[in-house]
Amino acid sequence: MTFDPTGHLLLTPIDREAPVRVRRLRELGFGDRPDPAFDEFAHHLAEVTGAPYSMVNFIDENRQFFAGLHTPTGEHNGSDLTAVAAVAAAGGEVSRFMARDHGYCPHVVVRRKALVLEDVCDYPRFAGNPVVDEIGIRSYLGAPLIDRTGIALGTICVVDTEPRPWGRAGLETIKSLAAELIEQIHRREDGGI
């Protein structure tokens, strides 16, 4: 476990690759504005997995940016997201930004491996995340987007406010979908899309 200098447990992992990732995201033109192709991909994620919320998420040193976002209501405008699910459930607008210490995608990026949490409350490390109390997130399924340069640009993920039995099939699905999106990103970079 990692502790900060004051002795508090850090629930969000240290991300030493963030500066390199930010440079690569800028090079690709990602990470600071919504993208209709990523919104479409997030919608595809939701359809394939049956999850109510899905994201294409790019992460910098301080925050997460949902370049692609799908919510059950289809709302994804606004200025300050602390809770995708809570704001959408309340009928308000949903922002594209979330603090880096909220959610599970920063873990996926640092680990560089997919993460399956069928019920986040089963894992003390993850149950203490702010999205559990503030939003009511109970399940998470995410995979890293590792590009041709070897940099983990961000993640694709789906979340639900109910526990979900993702299982091995969910793991394989999210990994396959991440590979599919990376192919699209490479085609775009090469001038194909």
The pLDDT score that the predictor gives to residue 4 is: 40
Answer for the pair 71, 53: CB distance below 8 angstroms, yes or no.
yes
Closest CA to 11 of 85, 79, 101: 101
pLDDT in tens, 141-171: 999 999 999 999 999 999 999 999 999 999 9
CATH class in words for 18-187: alpha beta
Confidence of residue 58 (pLDDT cuts 50, 70, 90): very high
Domain boundaries, the chain: 18-187
Q: How far apart, in whole angstroms, are the C-alpha atoms of residue 89 and residue 72?
A: 9
